[in-house]
Amino acid sequence: MRGQVLEMDEIALRARGIQKNFISGDSELQVLRAVDLQLSRGEMLAITGASGVGKSTLLHILGTLDRPSAGQLEIEAVDVLQLRDDELADFRSRNIGFVFQFHNLLPEFTALENVMLPAMIAVEKGLNVRERAENLLFQVGLEGRLHHRPGELSGGECQRVAVARALIRNPLIVLADEPSGNLDTDSSQTLHAMIRELARAERKTFVVMTHDNNLANALDRTGYIENGTLHLN
């Protein structure tokens, strides 16, 4: 992707001058300083950095879960910061998938039901939800575990279910915050390979915040946050 001039319809996400300040009493802490980022469709970016440098803050802004103090954010050419909160929530649910360090699966539901749930809540039109969910679970290697509940799955398997769930509504972008943070080495490697394969097969743009250099080096591009600034390699 480096060095290419992208057509407008190839750009999945563009952030310009993103800043985030937090007020604590009489003081103001600037966590992010003028972050610029452009990602094409199907691109995979890993962002590293020490704890507390602003990785999760940036992820929340890119995922429209929080608004920046200053800057612009376009997703598929939509100026999302100009949307009302209700419009933004609808845009987010249709276009952005999330994977967090803790899988947050509902314990009373099976793997298949957990994956299906976001699309069922949204009453997704024109989508065979069960077929899509089964196909995603096949892609993450859980075809034999569809009807197992989270308590019957390993940590790595639960995280793979969470990745499948993030893709159920066919989002444009998937944002992952330390997806392998609680996994052992073997489970982490399996998850890393699966993320790469899914990103290519589904042509999704992935942004992964991670401490795991093995995962970071396996993706298309890497960057790191230091002193509130995003440096892209």
The H or E element spanning position 72 is strand 70-75
pTM reported for the whole predicted model: 0.86
- Complete DSSP assignment for 146-175: TT--GGGS-HHHHHHHHHHHHHTT--SEEE
Work out the widest C-alpha separation in the chain, in whole angstroms. Answer: 56
CA dist 116 and 9 (Å) reads 30
Burial of 99 (0-12, 13-18, 19+ CB in 10 A): buried
For the stretch 26-63, pLDDT in tens is 888 899 999 999 999 889 999 998 888 899 999 999 99
pLDDT at 216 over 90: no
Contact, 59 vs 15, CB < 8 A? no
Nearest to 147 by CA among 132, 162, 137: 137
CA dist 191 and 220 (Å) reads 16
pLDDT at 5 over 50: no
Domains of the chain: 44-65+84-232 (3.40.50.300)
For the stretch 85-126, pLDDT in tens is 999 999 999 999 999 888 889 999 999 999 999 888 766 555
- Complete DSSP assignment for 73-102: EEETTEEGGGS-HHHHHHHHHHHEEEE-SS
